[in-house]
Amino acid sequence: MSERDQDQARQLIAAARAAAVHAHAPYSRFAVGAAVLLDDGSVVTGANVENASYGLSLCAETVAIATVSASGRLRRVMAVGVIGGAMDASGRATGDAPVRPCGRCRQVLNEAAQLSGRDLAVHCAGAEGEEVASYRLSELLPDAFGPSDLGVR
């Protein structure tokens, strides 16, 4: 990974860790934060939001992408950082192992990727620690179904 990509990963992981502080995860006790980099250098964050009706819960990546879309910038997504970890008694996310987007989030990220014409960089880390696992979205979701399959460009 180039120095520029490493800087990007560090920036996004730091923003995702800051976002995870705001996770509402009283049921799973697993906090996730996400940070989305746009082509103008701005970063949009999200944290997971659980609901007593579990199916209505939102993942951090989905919250961040929905925020980007609500501002009309879905085609401007370049990269994403994701962190997560089990919450301790004080509600702080813990753990060193990199957390990767779930399948649903990979599909949501793919929408932005196909619309932007980019194979997004996805940087994954634990709530703590230095290890970062970086991928291209196409590695995490090969042969993805998306807007192009429905004739949307």
Catalytic sites, residue numbers: 61
- Residue in 27, 41, 13, 42 with CA at minimum distance from that of residue 131: 13
Of residues 128, 110, 133, 126, the one with CA closest to residue 9: 133
Distances (CA, A) of 27 to 19, 31, 86: 18, 10, 11
Distance CA 68, CA 64 (A): 6
Helices (H), ranges, the chain: 3-20, 60-70, 103-116, 137-140
